Structure 1
Amino acid sequence: MDNIIDKYIDYIIKDKNLSQNTILSYKSDLKKYINYLNSSDTEYISVSENDIFSFLIYLQKSNTSVSTISRIISSIKSFHEFLFNTRISDNNPARKIKKPKVERPKMDILTQEEVELLLNAPNLKNIKGIRDKAILELFYATGIKVSELIELNIDDLNLNMDYINCVNNKNTRTIPMSNTSKKHTQKYLDDSRTKIIKDENEKALFLNSKGQRFTRQGLWKIIKKYTQDINLDKNVTPTMLRHSFAIHLLKKGANLSVVGKILGNNNLTSLQIYLNHIDKNIRKELKENHPRL
């Protein structure tokens, strides 16, 4: 069984072109699924549609969220499709399984005033503050994901031409930097990174206090720290900064397709949420401020 799973993981890495996070999620989902099948003495090659439904009911009873179940179904469907296509199994019991509809949560963003407070929170008189200022400015100036910022290397930065190269498994995006983010990134390189770095061969752009590449948790802690410092009563995350970047650009008149390219998001349904958010705000402002209402 382990050999089959290894072949499947190798398949999705090479042929499916999935992100590292998605691959890790599929591996975790598959482990839960196989453990469940083993507990009921069910062979993976003889799984029926009812067996899959039983597993999904088990997940529901375990209070697994709808979004997680939806992702697990994707993992199961992909796995059984692989078994069928490689003739390891003679049928695909997951073919007709449909994912539950996931209700999109309300999109929370920061106002431009709140963004200013957050970006100005770091103390520029110490090396960590200089680094954190550069991180926050780059987050908001480019709208990149936390995983993308972690993976940025020195070579992905072009301060002469004012852009970063954002590389992931699917593609490479060239994203312009704002003048402010460029200024503070340069200050970080000159006054902070040179004092934090321990190994001259380290390629990561942003370094933690050990001189190593940041983890997701490390960057989340930075944002949480400054959110608390300014007493901001919101659960600020890198994703919220990404959404705020997109909404603020659109409010200034940016083209939706251009914003989508910068974000690396070509899903029109996802981008429509940004427009819906703006529409709701416009209706609210009209209702509260129109002189004839």
Structure 2
Amino acid sequence: MNNDLQDYLHTLVVEQGLAKNTVLSYRQELTEFFSFLKTQKIEEFNQIDRYTILNYLKYCDEQNKSRNSVIHTVTSLRQFFHYLLMQNKISTDPMLKIDTPKAAHHLPQVLSSKEVEDLLQVPDTNKPLGVRDRTLLEVMYATGLRVSEAVNLKLDDLRLEMGLISTIGKGDKQRIIPIGDVAIHWLSIYLEGAREQLLRGKNNPFVFLNNHGEQLTRQGIWKNLKMIVKKAGITKDVTPHTLRHSFATTLLENGADLRTVQELLGHADISTTQIYTHVTKKHLTEVYNKYHPRA
């Protein structure tokens, strides 16, 4: 069974050309499913039926997995069993009568302008790592980069003299994003001083480095951000994606049109971008209720 999983993942890369992070996501979800099968003493694919899948989804629910996570799991299983059917590894697809749960539409958490400013003031810019953290926060808030795009940003992607950066997003799609003067200012400071200190004489094409001169990881950004948020006294559940949400919401609140924000975020479907209109409407309602005497 594990060999079939490896063959499937190889197919995703070679034949379908899926991005590395997407394949890693499929691997993680299917590996968790395989672990569940072991607890059920299931050793062959043809032993899996509709009830096996339903029991696994119930197990996922008991593990407090989010609705959207379960939806992605169902999608991963559906595609995997379709592959097995096409390869004649199974005679019946157990996913045929499994409905995909409806997505939970939660409004994204966003930071106010003051909270963003409080966040930016935390890093100690007298130290190389502090300059790096301040620069990273400025860039992510100024451009709406995903955390994976931030860690993979390379020196060759910077066109600071033109006020632009280039990035490769989901589906390996390239997009060009404007970057503001403040973020350019901090990038210049970081590149000319702190980054050279972090490099320690090494060669590294990536913009953001750790204390050993290596590429900063997603986990490193999450860990550092949690500490910065705590020091800023912000009680919201802030993740790197919160900066992306805040970027989009700020643009819409200040008059940007939805299509422009879609392009800047790299959304394939504008319906994904439309959730931010609900956020801005919620904000307007809160302001009205707070300040209007007849509210």
TM-score (norm 1): 0.91
What are the Cα deviations for residues 182-215 of structure 1, in whole angstroms up to 9, with x where unaligned?
1110111101111110353211111111111111
The residue aligned with 2:120 is: 119
Equivalent AA in structure 1 for residue 260 of structure 2: V
Q: Separation in 2 of the partners of 1:233 and 1:179?
A: 29
Q: Separation in 2 of the partners of 1:64 and 1:221?
A: 22
What are the Cα deviations for residues 7-36 of structure 1, in whole angstroms up to 9, with x where unaligned?
100111234443333322211221232333
What is the 5 A alignment of 1:116-265?
116-168=117-169, 169-265=171-267
The residue aligned with 1:36 is: 36
Query: Are positions 1:25 and 2:25 aligned together?
Result: yes
Equivalent AA in structure 1 for residue 252 of structure 2: L
SS in 2 for 1:174: strand
Q: CA deviation at 1:46?
A: 4.9
Contact 2:107 2:278 in 1 (8 A): no
**Structure 1: runs of 5 or more not aligned:** none
Contact 2:109 2:237 in 1 (8 A): no
Q: Which moved more, 1:139-148 or 1:119-128?
A: 119-128
Q: 1:178 to 1:94 in 2, by over 3 A?
A: same
Equivalent AA in structure 1 for residue 69 of structure 2: T
Q: Separation in 1 of the partners of 2:210 and 2:217?
A: 9
Q: CA deviation at 1:65?
A: 3.8
What are the Cα deviations for residues 137-168 of structure 1, in whole angstroms up to 9, with x where unaligned?
10100011111101111111121222111114
What is the 5 A alignment of 1:64-143?
64-143=65-144
**Structure 2: runs of 5 or more not aligned:** none
Contact 1:37 1:43 in 2 (8 A): no
Query: Are positions 1:50 and 2:51 aligned together?
Result: yes
The residue aligned with 1:12 is: 12
Q: CA deviation at 1:180?
A: 0.8
Q: 1:132 to 1:33 in 2, by over 3 A?
A: closer
SS in 2 for 1:228: helix
SS in 2 for 1:160: helix
Q: Separation in 2 of the partners of 1:33 and 1:238?
A: 28
Q: Separation in 1 of the partners of 2:69 and 2:263?
A: 27
Q: Separation in 1 of the partners of 2:125 and 2:21?
A: 34
SS in 1 for 2:53: helix
Q: CA deviation at 1:53?
A: 1.9
Q: Separation in 1 of the partners of 2:51 and 2:157?
A: 49
Q: Which moved more, 1:7-16 or 1:49-58?
A: 49-58
Q: Separation in 2 of the partners of 1:247 and 1:202?
A: 34
Q: 1:58 to 1:131 in 2, by over 3 A?
A: closer
Q: Which moved more, 1:139-148 or 1:230-239?
A: 230-239
Equivalent AA in structure 2 for residue 108 of structure 1: Q
Equivalent AA in structure 1 for residue 189 of structure 2: K
What are the Cα deviations for residues 216-261 of structure 1, in whole angstroms up to 9, with x where unaligned?
1211232223323332233322111111110000111111111111
Equivalent AA in structure 2 for residue 21 of structure 1: N
Q: CA deviation at 1:76?
A: 0.7
Q: Which moved more, 1:62-71 or 1:182-191?
A: 62-71
